[in-house]
Amino acid sequence: MTTESNKSAGSLLTEALSHVSSLMRKEVDLARAEVNENLKHAGVAIGLIVGAVVVALTALNVLSAALVAALTEAGIAAGWSAVIVGVLLAIVAYVMVQKGTSDLKLSSLAATRTAKNVKRDAATMKEVYDDK
């Protein structure tokens, strides 16, 4: 003779707690998925940094000699030619490392969507309980 309209307070509380528990499990699963996605982006950023190092070393080996030779042929002393080339290549490497490290900031790894959802859920639950 139990119907939807005359459930006991205990069964309603049990059902509500079950829904809250289920919601929290789903939010934790969402947070895990979001962190995994952000870690994949971090892996790409680390790849950019490694790529920057490889490019910088290759550039130092190949272009340094060629540019120093060209500047020396143009009348600049060999020492100054080497300094000019070294500074230019160091600037390129610096820009690449800055891009990679900015992509690795901890704020970009945070589960921001999940945090927003949890805050929204908490506000909704507070409204429901404040109304009673």
Residue 127 counted as domain residue:
no
Cβ proximity of 46 and 100 under 8 Å: yes
Residue 69 counted as domain residue:
yes
Residue 37 counted as domain residue:
yes
Domain count, the chain: 1
Q: What is the pLDDT of residues 111-125, one digit of tens each?
A: 677 778 778 877 877
Question: pTM for the complete prediction?
Answer: 0.42
**Lowest mean pLDDT segment, chosen from 31-35, 60-64, 66-70, 126-130:** 126-130
Residue 1 counted as domain residue:
no
Q: What is the pLDDT of residues 60-108, one digit of tens each?
A: 788 789 988 999 999 999 999 989 988 988 898 899 899 988 877 766 6
AA identity, residue 33: A
Please report which residue ranges of the chain form alpha helices under DSSP H: 9-73, 78-103, 112-131
Rounded Cα distance, 90 and 84, in Å: 10
Q: Tokens 């509380």 identify what position?
A: 13
The domain in which residue 50 lies consists of 7-116
Residue 122 counted as domain residue:
no
With a cut of 90, say whether residue 24 has pLDDT above it: no
Rounded Cα distance, 42 and 123, in Å: 32
Residue 78 counted as domain residue:
yes
Residue 66 counted as domain residue:
yes
Identify the pLDDT of residue 108.
Answer: 62
Identify the pLDDT of residue 49.
Answer: 93
